[in-house]
Chains A and B, each alone.
Chain A
Amino acid sequence: MTGDMIIFAVSAVVAVFGAVMMIAQKNPVASVMFLILSLLAQAVCYVQLGALFLGAVLVVVYAGAIMVLFLFVIMLLNLRGREDLGLSSHPMNTITKFLLVVLLGVELVLIVKSVFMSGAVGGMMAKPTDDFGSVAQVAKLLFTKYMYPFQLTGVLLLVALVGAVVMARKDRSEIAHGAPSEEAVNEPTAGKVGR
């Protein structure tokens, strides 16, 4: 009992610490690192809750791939410390917003606490079966009952693919009359015609 509790307490503290540090950083690289820390701690919670497979997915896909994509974009654009970012420059505004969010957070916690301590859902926690949250069980549901939304996410990935290409690609006409860039220097200036 205490072992579980200690693991949870440590991972919860790390998760919140990582999240708070993430928004408090000026440097986006450090920010990404703190978010990864928070995600790793959340993955521990996933495993404690019986979601072994999803814990692994969170580490491999989210912390491992998506966050690295963020890091990659930051490095690509060379955003570190180029301009003074960080927190907002309007102090009054920030304080108001800050109070707002603190109030929101306190409210959320209080409500959740009061409801679950009263035993509406919290009391239902039965001992799970051995294979609860295993790869086999998740996969079985995913490919039978949830086949339809699963295939819809396939369409969504196509959209993301097309969208990302449209957005990130440098078009030739854009280079011709856009801001000077490294590619523009290398390109022959005659390339004014669209492709």
Chain B
Amino acid sequence: MVPVTAYLILAAVLFGVGALGVLISRNLIILFMSVELMLNAANLALIAFARAVNVVDGQVVVFLVLTVAAAEAAVGLSMIVTIVRNRETINVDRLNLLKW
């Protein structure tokens, strides 16, 4: 039996990698995918906790979070389409009309 701790550490590592992606990536699409990865890491933690406390509620939460993530991805991607249309770039460094 693998201890639940191992899964939680995996979730923490994935969350960290996602955060790293958000901070260093210059490509808008990869940036957005890194955020999705962070959400997935949180989902993995929820599933692991659901197993640890032996209550299925955590899995239902993950189901709802997947729905929310899908909605967010739809809006985000359509916004990326718009930005490519009028700026011809997905480089975050070049989206600098506003000071970050």
Q: Which residues of A contact B (CB under 8 A)?
A: 1, 4-5, 8, 12, 15-16, 19-20, 22-23, 25-26, 28, 31-32, 35, 38-39, 42, 45-46, 48-51, 53-54, 57-58, 61-62, 65-66, 69-70, 73-74, 76-77, 79, 83, 85-89, 94, 97-98, 100-102, 104-105, 108-109, 112-113, 116-117, 121-122, 124-126, 128, 132-133, 137-138, 141-142, 145-146, 149-150, 153, 156-157, 159-161, 163-165, 167-168, 170, 178-179, 181
Q: Is the CB of A122 within 8 A of B4?
A: yes
Number of residues in B with C-beta < 8 Å to the partner? 71
**How far is A58 from B71 in the complex, measured between Cα atoms in Å?**
15
Cβ-defined partner of B37 (8 Å) among A35, A53, A97, A108: A35
* Count, A-B residue pairs, CB within 8 A: 252
A5 to chain B, nearest CB (A): 6
Q: Is the CB of A54 within 8 A of B63?
A: yes
Q: Is the CB of A4 within 8 A of B1?
A: yes
**How far is A164 from B79 in the complex, measured between Cα atoms in Å?**
8
**How far is A149 from B18 in the complex, measured between Cα atoms in Å?**
27
The 6 closest A-B pairs by CB, nearest first: A105-B16, A160-B71, A23-B21, A168-B78, A116-B5, A167-B78
